[in-house]
Amino acid sequence: MNAPDACALETASMLVLSTEHLHPDTAAGWMAACPWACFEKGDFGWFMYVCDDPGVTETTGVPLEIRSALHVARRARCDWIMWDRDGPILDELPRYDW
């Protein structure tokens, strides 16, 4: 069997962040109503597409911690954010007690 052509493979990069960077109210409500692709990751997090449409992401109602995380993800050229309770904590992002 031949190996797949590397040019035919599509990959995506993912920024992993601690759920401590999400306010508990955001996690409890807003994440389920996220206006772009966002999926629960079991009981302990989410997968969120890094939406690049400022008309959507910079509108009223998008929590500051989400907008901040999106900026970090874009800077790192990531396509997705994985919010995980055991994920890394970044000094530049806000932290919230759960």
- Encode pLDDT of 55-69 as tens digits: 888 877 899 999 999
Query: What does the alpha-carbon distance between residue 3 and residue 46 come to, in Å, rounded to a whole number?
Result: 33
Cβ proximity of 63 and 93 under 8 Å: no
Give residue 25's domain range: 12-81
* Number of domains observed in the structure of the chain: 1
In a domain, 7, yes or no: no
Query: What does the alpha-carbon distance between residue 12 and residue 59 come to, in Å, rounded to a whole number?
Result: 26
Q: What is the pLDDT of residues 26-79, one digit of tens each?
A: 999 999 999 999 999 988 899 999 998 988 888 778 999 999 999 999 999 999
In a domain, 54, yes or no: yes
Query: What does the alpha-carbon distance between residue 22 and residue 40 come to, in Å, rounded to a whole number?
Result: 14
In a domain, 95, yes or no: no
> 42 CB contacts (<8 Å, ≥6 apart)?
none
